[in-house]
Chain A
C-alpha cells in the first residue's frame, strides 16, 4: 500500500465515506451485527460448533427466501430452517450408520441447494447475489429494525444464561448433575446461532457468515485465558474488522462481505503469529496475559 497516499489522505480516508448516509448506516449496522456474532463466537469456538455454524448458516437460505416471498420476517424463516436443519442432522445421525460430519455436510448442502432453486423459481425481488455475498450498503429500514431487535434478543439471552452456557460448553455432565436443563441450553445456543447467522448474512452473506461466527472467537482464544476477556476481544476484533472491511471496500471498490472477512482473517493471522502466549513467536516476556 502506498504509505504516502495514506498519510496525506488519512482524514479524507476516514471522513469521506461518512458523508454518505448509506455508509453511515452500513458501518453502524455491520458493527452491531459483528458485535453480536463476535459475542456468540466465543461460545461456539469453545463448544466446537464451527461445522455446526457452517451448517446452520447455509441451511437458513430456503427459510429466508420463503419468508421474503410470503412477506414474513426473514428471521422467522431462518430460525425455522436453522433449528430444523440441526434436528434433521440429529435424526439422520441416529437412524443411520452414516458418520456425523458426513450427515452435517449432506443436510446443509441439501438445504442450501433448495434455497438457490427457490430463488430462481419464486418471483420476487430477492437478489441472489446479496443473499450469498451480503449487502451491508443496501439494508432497508425494516431490515434495520429486525436486525436491531434480533441483536438485542441474542445479547440478552447470552448474557442472562452466560454462566450456564459456559458450564454447558465446559462440562455438560456436571451441569446435568446439578439438575440444570442441558437440553434447554443446547437449544438456546442453537437458537442464538440461527438468529446470529441471519443477521450476519446481511453483512457478509450466507457463504461467509460462518467466518463471523468462528474467526473472532478463535482469534480471542489465542490471546487470553479468561472467558470474559475472550468475549470482549472477540467482540472488539469483530467490530474492527467490520469497520475496516467496509472502509477498504469503499476506497478500493472491493466486495464488502469478502473485505470484512478478509480483515478478520488477517487479525487472526496476526494473533496466530504474535499472540503473547499461544502465538508462533511467543512474547511471553514482553506481555503478561493475566
Chain B
C-alpha cells in the first residue's frame, strides 16, 4: 500500500533527476487547473503564492482573520541553510547528515537530502522578497549556532525569524490575491475532504463568521495545516492550532505516520497554575549563551544568587561535554525532567531548572571593554556593558520573560521547563508530498517526512518553505499533468452533497448534546492524560491505561459536552468543540503508536528501553520503519510499515558526549 516513490539513482542526484523528468503542465492548461490550499503558514502561504505565480487557480483557506497570523509567525530562533557562508565546514551533506542523525535515524534519506539541497534557495528567495535578516557590519548575512550541530548555519532576524519569513510569504501571497491568481478565504475552517472516484476533489469548509457550510472544488487539495501539539492542551502552539483538517483526511483514507513522535522543547516558561492556557517558548538560541543548572543539593530552597558556584550542577555540560548546553532538544528535555524528578527542580513548583546568563553577561562585558582597549574596568561596568550586548541579541525574549513571570532575567536566572512544541509525526506522504489519497497532499509540519523522531532547531521553517516554494511546484505538476482533461466538477455533484451532509449532521449532533461540561474542560482532561502517559516518558502500562482513559473520555464528551449559542453564527465554542473531538481520537492513536514502538528513539522515550546511562535505546532490527496507520473503524487501525533504508548514512547510537 505504501509506495514512497523515491527516485532511483545516487542520493545526491535524485532530486535533480526528478526535476529533469517530471511531467510539466503548459501555461494555458495551468489556468484551467484549480488547487485548494488549506492553511497559510509558511508551507501554505509559500505554496499558494508559488502556485499562483505559476498560473494555477488557487483557493487558500485559513481560520485566522488574516494569513499573516498563522503560527509559523511565532518561531523565534532561525532557519537553517547549508550556505557555508562562515567557512566552517558546512555543506549540503552535513545538513542532511545532522538532520538524519538529529532525527535519530527515523527519517527518509531522500526527502531529507532534498531539503538540504534546496535550503540555500530559501534564503535567497527570502532575501529577494525583502526579509530583513540579521546582517554583519560588512552588509552580509549573519549566522548563529543552534542545538544539535557544530557549524553556524542558522539565519535569523533577531528573535522573530518566523514572523519575518511569514510576512515575506504572506506578502507574496497577497500579491497573487491582488493579481487574481489566488482567492483568499479567511476565517474559514476545513471540515471535510471531498473524494470523487477515490481522488481528493475538494473540501467542505465552514465560514466561521456566518456559520454556514461551503463547498469548494479543486483538482488537488494541499493540507498545510501544521502540527497537532495542542492534543496536549498545554503547548507552545497557538490556541487555534488543530489537527482537524489532517484528521478528516485520515478518516478519508490518508494514513497517519508516526503520531507518537512529538517534540518536547527544553526551554519554555514553566507552568504557573491551573489557569494556564498555553505555554511560551524561550528560543533555543538562548542556549548558545545561557548555562543550564540546578542546585546540587536536593530541595535546595535558597535563591539562585545565594547558591555558590561549587554547589551548582551544570548537568548538560557534565553529561555531554562535546555539545554541552547545545545538545538536541529531546536530550536536553529528558535531562531536565530527570533532574526535576530526582528532586533538584527549582521555583515554587519544583518543575523548573535555571537558564543563567550571568557568565555570558560578564564574558560579553569583558569583550566590550577589550574593544575599547581598557583594562581594570570595574565589574559593575563590565556587567552593564555585557547586559547591553545580551539585550541586543536577546532583548525581546528577555522582555517577554519578564512580562509573563514578573521577574527580571538580567538580574536573576530564568526558570525554564520542557513543553510540547512540535510534532514530527503527521500525514504519511510519498516523495511527492502526496498522501495515500490521490490528489491530497500534505506540506510542512502537517506531514511526517523530514524530521524522523526528533526535529533539530531552525529546521521547521526550512521544511515549511522548502515544501511550499521549491518542492510542491514540481511534484504537483507531475500529477496535474494527467488532469488537463478533467473539467472542474460542479459542487452540486452527489459527493459534495454527501460530504456536506455528513459535516452538518455531526455539527447538529454536537450542538444537540446540551450536556453539562465545557469543551475546555474536556480538552484539559485529554491533555493531562496524554502529557502524563504519552509525554516525555512512556511505559507499556501507562499507554494501555491512557488508551482506556481516552476512549472513556470520548464517550463522555459525546454525551455531556455543552456548546452554547447556535450553528449559523460566529460561535467559537462550536469551532473548538469540532477540534477537540478530533484531538480526542488522535490522542488514542498516539498512544496506540507509542505502545507499538517497543524502542526509544528521539522524542519517543519508552522507559523500558534505555541504556544504563539513561539514553534512548533504539531497536533498529525491529523498528527501523515508518509506522503508517490506516483508519478502519472507531478504535481500529491497520498498521502499514514503510521500511527505512539507509544507503548513505550508517545509523549508530546517537552520541553528543
A and B associate in one complex: no
